[in-house]
Amino acid sequence: MDDMNKKQIFSDIARGKKTYEVDTDDLDDMDDDDEVKDTDPIRWKYHQMGQWDSKMILNLGIKFAQDFDGKEVNEEEFMQMVGEDLDKNPTGDAEKRYGSYVTLLRVYGIGRTTGDPKRFEASNACKFFLGKKKNPKEFLLNHLMIWQYPNATSNKKWYEEGVKILPFPLTLKVLILLSEKSPAHAFLTKGELLTVVSQAQRMGKEEDLVEQILAKREKNTSYADYLSSSKFKEFWADKKKTEKHWDQLRRMTVSFCGTGLMKREGTGDDYKLTLEQDSIAEAKNILLIHKYEIYKWSDKDDWDKHHGAN
């Protein structure tokens, strides 16, 4: 596939208007920004990305591209297609459940509803990577390489001003640099992800993050020590807030692992995100081929056309 076709696929991902007011039902609510202060730590809040694994994405993408693309919206038929293998709340309110899945179509860049009367529309990425190639890993990889902060759902200053990162390339580069120090270092702990990596405000500073991480490892820094020594220690002292930040970040790493380059190990405070040893060369090549850049957007519709976010 040439560069022109790739760009077309990227630009087509879930284009159209968003429905930010959708009640996501079985997903976490997204209207809690009023609790956030400009002085709080950065939150990787697109946690819906962790709802489905690669197999579920593939199954839905194939069905959506083959059976629903271009068809007039029929909520009942759509929910029958989703089926109990994807529907996590089959006995809940039907309208809310439908809204949840339409939201997830946008989150993953699978498609959207558009027009009057409303019709389903599969994205080019869905039709090519899922419908034709049957390759959910490549689908996720292409999506994550343009998944960026600031995002189009938050109006908080600490997202709109100063923060310009792409979480997946950032995390992948940090893991690669750690692996170059030693294959045994190619992992990130819960504390490192929460208080170091996810707090980065710019791309290109990954080596600085690695230095911080290695310095902490030399001191055998525990998860609790990461929290208590952070400049946000007062925020992290609130267990409820801390776990909410972590739960959303952890879910996002589920999508990272869907690319096949990373895997998750352990639970609770022992959680680790690791770079597969046999994937290091592939990971380096991906960052060479995919020249990521910060996208400048003017409004939410513009963001959708580029990004396919929720």
Domain count, the chain: 2
pLDDT of residue 96: 81
Residue 207 has pLDDT above 90, yes or no: yes
Q: Are residues 213 and 80 in the same domain?
A: no
Q: Are residues 2 and 143 in the same domain?
A: yes
If one counts every other C-beta atom within 10 angstroms of the C-beta of residue 35, the result is 9
pLDDT of residue 228: 95
Residue 84 has pLDDT above 70, yes or no: no
Q: Are residues 148 and 289 in the same domain?
A: no
Q: Are residues 145 and 112 in the same domain?
A: yes
Give the C-alpha separation, 276 to 186, whole Å.
8
Please compute the mean of the pLDDT values over residues 134-161 and round it to a whole number. Answer: 72
Q: Are residues 37 and 95 in the same domain?
A: yes
Residue 82 has pLDDT above 90, yes or no: no
Q: Are residues 8 and 131 in the same domain?
A: yes
Q: Are residues 42 and 61 in the same domain?
A: yes
**Residue 60 domain-assigned?**
yes
Q: What percent of the chain has pLDDT over 90?
A: 40
pLDDT of residue 86: 73
**Residue 30 domain-assigned?**
yes
pLDDT of residue 35: 58
pLDDT of residue 10: 36
**Residue 159 domain-assigned?**
no
**Residue 158 domain-assigned?**
no
Pick from 83-97, 151-165, 272-286: least confident: 151-165
- pLDDT 10s digits, 294-303: 777 666 666 6
**Residue 157 domain-assigned?**
no
Residue 17 has pLDDT above 60, yes or no: no
CATH number of the domain at 211, please: 1.10.10
pLDDT of residue 309: 35
Q: Are residues 19 and 131 in the same domain?
A: yes
Nearest to 44, CA basis, from 193, 176, 174: 193
Both tokens of 124, joined, read 């080019």
Pick from 56-70, 91-105, 276-290: least confident: 91-105
> Which residues constitute the domain of residue 275?
165-293
Q: Are residues 207 and 304 in the same domain?
A: no
Q: Are residues 124 and 170 in the same domain?
A: no
- Provide the β-strand partners of residue 165: 149
Question: Model's pTM, two decimal places?
Answer: 0.81
**Residue 199 domain-assigned?**
yes
Please compute the mean of the pLDDT values over residues 105-131 and round it to a whole number. Answer: 87
pLDDT of residue 98: 85
Please compute the mean of the pLDDT values over residues 65-84 and round it to a whole number. Answer: 88
pLDDT of residue 48: 61
- pLDDT 10s digits, 250-283: 888 988 998 999 999 999 999 999 998 899 999 9
Please compute the mean of the pLDDT values over residues 154-173 and round it to a whole number. Answer: 74
Nearest to 163, CA basis, from 194, 191, 203, 213: 203
Q: Are residues 148 and 189 in the same domain?
A: no
**Residue 303 domain-assigned?**
yes
**Residue 160 domain-assigned?**
no
pLDDT of residue 165: 86
Give the C-alpha separation, 172 to 256, whole Å.
9
Q: Are residues 135 and 238 in the same domain?
A: no
Classify the C-alpha dihedral 39-44-271-247 as positive or negative: positive
Q: What is the mean pLDDT of the chain?
A: 79
Nearest to 47, CA basis, from 188, 226, 276, 243: 243
